[in-house]
Amino acid sequence: MTTETNQAPLVKMSGVNKHFGQFQALSDINIDIPTGQVCIVVGPSGSGKSTLCRTINRLETIDNDGGYIEIDGKRLPEEGKALAALRADVGMVFQSFNLFAHKSVLENVTLGPIKVRKVPKKQAEQEAMEYLDRVGVGEQARKLPAHLSGGQQQRVAIARALAMKPKVLLFDEPTSALDPEMVQEVLDVMVDLAAGGMTMVVVTHEMGFARKAGDRLLFMSEGAVVEDTTPQEFFTNPQTARAQDFLSKILTE
Amino acid sequence: MEDILFLFEQYPIFEGFWTNIKLAFWSSISAFTLGVILALFRISPVRSLSWLSAAFINLVRNIPLTVLVVMAVLVFWGQLQISLHSDFNTNFFLLATIALSMYHAPFFAEAIRSGVNTVPLGQAEAARAIGLGFFSAARLIIIPQALRGAITPIGNTLIALIKNTTVAAAGSVLEASGVMRTMIEFNPNLMVAIFLIIAIGFSLIVIPVGLITTWLSEKLAVTR
Ligand SMILES: Nc1ncnc2c1ncn2[C@@H]1O[C@H](COP(=O)(O)OP(=O)(O)O)[C@@H](O)[C@H]1O
Ligand SMILES: [Mg+2]
């Protein structure tokens, strides 16, 4: 017996390409993300980071050329019920929060469990309150999202994703739309999640967070993963010229 | 004053208006329902549904209402001998309601679609991301916000529909504008009074709709 597990990776992307018309947004992406890994994605604007995230829960389709994506050993289905079910297992936190504007904070969090997971309303509300308390916005449960600060809204969005009990959480620049003083409160929640063993793919340029919570770092450029390394290694010893160039730019900002 | 009392005694003015209200009530319910369905089909990712909806909207929207009403009566009842009800008047009433519903459904659909355009794409993406399918996302997230954003154009369509119920006269339905025509024919000396009665009557029906629309559009506006 070895301690090594030969478990399939939680997220597997193999030979994935993505074109928007003539433009190639992703080229030959091959990554395996094991359970519990926190994978940071960095790269210049337009390098395909959002597209990468969005293909993982199929908000974007991928080219039909043999490349594929698996979640927990299952191919992403084409459309319909199976796809919806799979999406429920992949949480997503957007740069612009995207809370349901006409629903209260509590309803934002209970909607998925009630409508998709068929959890009874009482239980869903009880669990939602636990998640909201955990991210520190339990007090705001009855308010509409528009009445919350950006940092609070993003924490609600994280609670909404968590309430689905996802296998993996995707974050697409979760702090980029926030006022500087609110960035930390959101990062703190994410650090807690990472420490709690959540599998995460996080597009971010927050180096402090990357070093603290990241197990792995992907550097993207022009649709390709150019470096696949650790945050420490990347920030102290970037291998490619493109990465060095990129780092020099964000460090002088 | 006596003249006015005379008119109200001699002619079914109230019944006429009551018919307009009933026509408006039933037509708006069915036109709105059909409008929601058309709008849903129109925005659905299923090409054929979207195409079907666009075809219906563009075809029906371009036929004058009078033509639709006359067609309903002449073709359905006259040619095909399809009678929806044994009672003559009820039959005409139903045919007019169908024509009014068909005619206004595309306008409701387009009003709702304009509301859909007020809903940011991120709302649909967030809905899909928690595992809602197209129709659940539409029903729970998109349409409720779209309706709130489209209350004004929906209200305008409703007002147009109420006034357009007068076209039912072309389909032999006895309603207020038809009563007006009869009254003028036999009492040309009272023309101004007759006109005022009908104009005020419609204003009394339509103005509250406008006020409610304005009030609702402010009260239900989605704060983002
Ligand atoms: N829906 C789309 N249609 C066409 N081009 C797109 C679309 N979405 C993204 N792109 C293009 O793909 C490239 C990568 O975009 P994105 O993944 O958003 O980059 P990043 O998140 O790294 O800034 C960009 O050049 C962008 O213009
Ligand atoms: Mg991006």
Residue B54: CATH number of its domain: 1.10.3720.10
- Per-residue pLDDT averaged across B146-151, rounded? 94
Structural domain span for residue A147: 100-165
Considering all CA atoms of chain A, what is the largest pairwise distance in Å, rounded to the nearest integer?
A: 56
Q: Which of A19, A20, A63 has the most ligand 1 atoms within 8 A of CB, as the residue to mutate?
A: A20
Structural domain span for residue B138: 17-174
Confidence category of residue B85, pLDDT binned at 50, 70, 90 = confident
Cβ pair B210, B157 in contact under 8 A: no
Instruction: Please count the structural domains in chain A.
Output: 1
pTM, whole model, 2 decimals?
Answer: 0.87
Q: For chain A, what percent of residues have pLDDT higher than 70?
A: 97
Whose alpha carbon is nearest atom 27 of ligand 1?
A46
A42 lines ligand 1 (CB under 6 A): no
pLDDT at residue B51 tops 90: yes
Confidence category of residue A6, pLDDT binned at 50, 70, 90 = low
- Ligand 1 closest atom vs CA A51: 17
B5 located within any domain: no
Report d(CA A94, CA A57) in Å as an integer.
13
Q: Which of B194, B189, B184 is nearest to B4 (CA)?
A: B194
B187 located within any domain: no
Query: How far, in Å, are A202, B55, B69 from residue B62 at the CA level?
Result: 52, 11, 14
A126 located within any domain: yes
B112 located within any domain: yes
Instruction: Please count the structural domains in chain B.
Output: 1
Q: How far is CA A96 from the centre of its chain?
A: 13
pLDDT at residue A59 tops 80: yes
Confidence category of residue B45, pLDDT binned at 50, 70, 90 = confident
pLDDT at residue B221 tops 90: no
B108 located within any domain: yes
Are the beta carbons of A59 and B129 separated by less than 8 Å?
yes
CA of B2 to the centre of ligand 2 (A): 76
> In this predicted structure, what is the pLDDT of residue B73?
83
B96 located within any domain: yes
A24 located within any domain: no
pLDDT at residue A4 tops 50: no
Lowest mean pLDDT across A179-193, A238-252, B22-36: A238-252
Residues of A with CB under 8 A from a CB of B: 57, 59, 80-81, 84-92, 94, 96, 98-102, 111-112, 115-116, 144, 146-147, 157, 160-161, 164
Confidence category of residue A112, pLDDT binned at 50, 70, 90 = very high
Confidence category of residue A228, pLDDT binned at 50, 70, 90 = very high
